[in-house]
Amino acid sequence: MNQQNKPIHGVWASRWVFILAATGSAIGLGNIWKFPYMAGENGGAAFVLVYLVCIALIGVPIMMAEVMLGRRGGMSPINSMGRLARDAGVSQRWKAVGGLGAVAGFFLLSLYTVIAGWALFYIWEMASGALRGAGAEEVTAVYEGLQANVWLVLGCHTVFMAMTMFVVARGVNKGLEVAVRILMPLLFLLLLGLLGYSFTSEGFMPAVHFLFAFDASAFTVKAALLAMGHAFFTLSLGLGAIMAYGAYMPREVTDRKTGKRKPVSIASTVFTIAALDTLVALVAGLVIFPVVFANALEPGEGPRLLFVTLPLAFASIPFGMMLGTVFFVLLTCAAWTSSISLGEPLVAWLVEKGWNRIKAAVVIGGSAWLLGIGTVLSFNYWSEVTFLGRTFFGNLEFLTINIMLPLGGLLIAIFAGWVMKETHARKELAMQSFGLYMVWRAMVRVFAPLAVIAIFIFVALVPDGDDADEAEADVPVVETVVEPTGLPETTDE
Ligand code: PHE
């Protein structure tokens, strides 16, 4: 089989660009929106600890497998899997792993751009100063007003989808690479700036305590399993996004110092990505909670933490509107580089079928936009329309995050560990330490698949155990009412 990256789509200019792109995919709504409230509600440090273990023991090995399969396949996940299956002498049905991922990516894209669209709206709310000095009622009314205004949400969803597909249409080097080169440093800079502000806040120590003080009693099996599911989502695993990016990863680069060609190590690259993703999630917690605590607000607001609690805090502090603007620009950048990676695998596949990239981006973006209307409506007209107790949005989110992602990860681990020829895997990974290679192999063959199966059993046993939304029932101070939309509402305001 062809061992070289055929530059149909392009190759990242360097290892660092790949790191920026993959980190850009990984860091998103999962880190800044979901992680802080999940950690806060599931025992703080107890949750953080399990999450870190999951990232290290399941996330990193599966991510290495995805990058390895992608780089060896050199194409979109569907066609890479086809090539790799041929290479391994097994059925072309393995292409379905890529297909499953592509569908999951498409579903996720459709809802991701709706939530990210809310962030766009909040940039405007903050920058215009509309919320300055606003009280709880007013801030809640703004959030609820947004949800009720279908045209506004649809407009934001449209803009965000257009931003995403604009980048994807420009291709790997002129689009994706340019975007991550600009957006990722900006994101880190904004986050550092906000962290600097947090340090000076009187809420900083309570926030540290909230996130890191180990409370063994808060530790539950459910929290452990939630942490594991989130590890998949936050690292963008199981749907081929990382596999697609891996296909554009160079095998060798020129060493700046010696001028010689040297191999690009998958293992150290993946460690860097996982470390950056984790760091950003933790720092996001340290940015959000100090503002919340300094204003004596409730941290257990779940999904509303970012769109109600935080704006409420920003409304009352000095320079709050400016900080708030920076925060929502940051969230937008993070979500943008993630949504790009949701669209790329499918567009790349169509390009391999001979489509023009712009046409492919328009068709995929347009269809995901259409499907996204279901999510938009789930928060208003269709909020009462439920199936299996969840709205359209709730079902799509549940299906993708809790079923398709872990299933994809499981199949990827099985393929990398059991199906492909061992010599091929070892050659592609090119790890210097044989011991570490054996650790990786044991992880993808045994540990990771077993852990994923555990998630499935959990999902089957706890019918509504989708994500941290559900864990809100554990928050002591606030009374939680699960609305028909599937998003819990707190009623302490
Ligand atoms: N990792 C992204 C986040 O944390 C979400 C994502 C999942 C992006 C899967 C691409 C693929 O928000």
Q: How many other CB atoms sit within 10 Å of the CB of residue 403?
A: 16
The pairs formed by 468-472 with CB atoms below 8 angstroms and a separation of 24 or more are 468/34, 468/37, 468/38, 468/41, 468/42, 468/226, 468/230, 468/302, 469/302, 469/303, 471/38, 471/41, 471/42, 471/222, 471/223, 471/226, 472/41, 472/300, 472/302
- 44 CB contacts (<8 Å, ≥6 apart)? 210, 211, 212, 213, 214, 215, 218
pLDDT of residue 93: 96
218 touches 322 (CB < 8 A):
no
How far apart are the CA of 28 and the centre of ligand 1, in A? 6
pLDDT of residue 473: 36
| Token duo for residue 30 | 């999962």
How far apart are the CA of 73 and the centre of ligand 1, in A? 22
**29 CB within 6 A, ligand 1:** yes
How far apart are the CA of 338 and the centre of ligand 1, in A? 6
**239 CB within 6 A, ligand 1:** yes
Q: Which of 27, 338, 412 to mutate to test the pocket of ligand 1 (most atoms within 8 A of CB)?
A: 338
Please report the atom of ligand 1 found closest to the CA of residue 28: 12
**337 CB within 6 A, ligand 1:** no
The CA-based angle 388-391-397, given to 5 degrees, is 95
Return averaged pLDDT per consecutive 10 residues of the chain, 493 residues in all: 60 91 95 86 80 91 97 95 96 96 96 96 94 89 94 97 97 91 91 89 90 76 78 94 94 83 89 96 91 80 82 86 93 95 96 96 98 95 87 90 89 97 92 92 95 78 49 35 37 34
**What is the spatial distance between Cα 438 and Cα 446, in angstroms, rounded to a whole number?**
12
How far apart are the CA of 205 and the centre of ligand 1, in A? 30
| Token duo for residue 336 | 């943008």
**378 CB within 6 A, ligand 1:** no
pLDDT of residue 485: 37
324 touches 122 (CB < 8 A):
yes
**24 CB within 6 A, ligand 1:** no
Please report the atom of ligand 1 found closest to the CA of residue 29: 12
Go through the domains of the chain in sequence order and give each one's CATH number.
Answer: 3-471 (1.20.1740.10)
Element (H, E) at 316: helix 309-316
| Token duo for residue 179 | 């975007």
Strands 252-254 and 261-263: antiparallel
Q: What is the DSSP string of 12-53?
A: -SSHHHHHHHHHHHHSSHIIIIIHHHHHHHTTBHHHHHHHHH
Phi first, then psi, for residue 237 (nearest 5°) are: -95, 155
| Token duo for residue 33 | 């929106």
| Token duo for residue 433 | 């330490």
**404 CB within 6 A, ligand 1:** no
How far apart are the CA of 208 and the centre of ligand 1, in A? 26
**338 CB within 6 A, ligand 1:** yes
- 81 CB contacts (<8 Å, ≥6 apart)? 69, 73, 94, 95, 96, 97, 98, 415
Rounded (10°) CA dihedral 373, 379, 383, 388:
80
**What is the spatial distance between Cα 386 and Cα 90, in angstroms, rounded to a whole number?**
41
**211 CB within 6 A, ligand 1:** no
Strands 480-482 and 488-490: antiparallel
Phi first, then psi, for residue 390 (nearest 5°) are: -125, 155
**What is the spatial distance between Cα 233 and Cα 29, in angstroms, rounded to a whole number?**
10
Which residue's C-alpha comes closest to atom 10 of ligand 1?
Answer: 236
pLDDT of residue 213: 81
Q: What share of the chain is helix, strand, coil (3-state, %, to 5)?
A: 75, 5, 25
pLDDT of residue 222: 72
Burial (CB count within 10 angstroms: exposed 0-12, middle 13-18, buried 19+), residue 216: exposed
